[in-house]
């Protein structure tokens, strides 16, 4: 009983290369077609809402916002972004510690700064607080600002907030956090994202490989292009060797 000959090596490599390149070829082909029809598909006008994709790009805020309210106005901090009544207006790495309002001025407490803004959210002054440990709370005492630091020391400002003195009575009205509604949180997310991310950018990054990784993602697609070339070469070689084999068989039968 004769043993069946195994397929020659190049045919096996042709098949393996084809299977390895299949997914990448599909990605390149589909994304390429989509990018050729950007205007018709309105890719540049379609805003991505998927939290998974936005998290992948680092556009979505992480965790939950910290919020304080004074009268009808409220301030939130999400990551390092500060929002006044839901609008992005400032960025600071220190943690938001409270909000108070005195007349037409609002004071926002950070850990080592007091940020003064007006009723429209315009910044008046960012005052460093160097005389205390990090601020834990901010409050009001009449028309003055009160601060409580992490060692439970109290400080009271003068009426124009240029000087501070220690105080032991601690009769201030302290700012306390409050919870946002789902609608407000959704609005903050949109404000945090800014103009957001359009679908064209995602498709373009997927086509180039940068969606996988900014540094080495492009090499994945470079490899797919090389695999496609090898697939073409190996396919031609398989066809040519088979043609030669058939030709030899015909020649042998003709002469025997």
CB-based burial label for 67 (10 Å; 0-12, 13-18, 19+):
buried
Q: How far apart are CA 211 and CA 195, in angstroms?
A: 19
Lowest mean pLDDT across 23-32, 84-93, 232-241, 243-252:
243-252
Q: How far apart are CA 190 and CA 32, in angstroms?
A: 30
Question: Which of 32-36, 95-99, 119-123, 233-237 has the highest mean predicted lDDT (pLDDT)?
Answer: 95-99
Which one, of 150, 138, 140, 126, lies nearest residue 96 by Cα? 138
34 pLDDT higher than 70: yes
Buried b (16+ CB within 10 A) or exposed e, 188-225: bbebbbeeebbbbbbbbbbbbbbbbeeeebeebbeebe
What pLDDT sits at residue 220?
72
Q: What are the extents of the domains in the chain?
A: 59-193
Q: How far apart are CA 175 and CA 145, in angstroms?
A: 11
Q: Does 54 or 14 have the greater pLDDT score?
A: 54
210: Cβ contacts below 8 Å, ≥ 6 apart: 217, 218
What pLDDT sits at residue 118?
92
Q: What is the chain's alpha carbon radius of gyration, rounded to the nearest angstrom?
A: 33
Q: What is the DSSP string of 4-21?
A: PPPPPHHHHHHHHHHHHH
To the question of domain 59-193 being in CATH 2.130.10.10, the answer is yes
Question: What is the per-residue pLDDT across 104-132, written as a single tens digit (0 to 9) for each?
Answer: 899 999 999 999 999 888 999 999 988 77
Q: Are 107 and 138 in contact (CB under 8 A)?
A: yes
Question: What is the per-residue pLDDT across 44-98, written as a single tens digit (0 to 9) for each?
Answer: 888 887 878 887 887 888 889 999 999 899 999 999 899 999 999 999 999 999 9
6: Cβ contacts below 8 Å, ≥ 6 apart: none
Question: What is the per-residue pLDDT across 127-175, written as a single tens digit (0 to 9) for each?
Answer: 998 877 899 999 998 889 999 999 888 999 888 888 888 877 668 899 9
């Amino acid at each position: 009983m004769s043993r069946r000959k195994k397929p020659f090596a190049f045919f096996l490599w042709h098949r393996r290369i084809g299977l390895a390149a299949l997914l990448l070829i599909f990605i390149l082909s589909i994304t390429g077609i989509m990018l050729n029809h950007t205007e018709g598909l309105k890719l540049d006008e379609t805003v991505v809402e998927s939290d998974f994709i936005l998290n992948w790009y680092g556009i979505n805020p992480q965790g939950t916002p910290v919020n304080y309210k004074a009268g009808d106005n409220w301030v939130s901090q999400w990551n390092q972004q500060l929002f006044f009544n839901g609008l992005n207006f400032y960025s600071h790495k220190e943690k938001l510690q409270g909000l108070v309002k005195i007349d037409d001025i609002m004071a926002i407490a950070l850990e080592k700064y007091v940020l003064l803004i007006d009723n429209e959210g315009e910044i008046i002054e960012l005052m460093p607080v160097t005389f205390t440990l990090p601020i834990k709370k901010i409050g009001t005492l009449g028309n003055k600002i009160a601060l409580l630091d992490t060692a439970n020391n109290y400080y009271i400002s003068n009426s124009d907030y240029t000087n501070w003195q220690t105080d032991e009575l601690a009769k201030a009205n302290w700012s306390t956090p409050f919870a946002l509604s789902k609608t407000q949180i959704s609005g903050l997310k949109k404000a945090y994202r800014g103009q957001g991310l359009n679908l064209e950018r995602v498709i373009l990054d997927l086509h180039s490989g940068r969606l996988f990784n900014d540094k080495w993602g492009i090499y994945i697609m470079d490899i797919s292009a090389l695999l496609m070339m090898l697939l073409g070469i190996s396919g031609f070689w398989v066809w040519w060797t088979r043609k030669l084999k058939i030709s030899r068989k015909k020649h042998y039968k003709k002469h025997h």
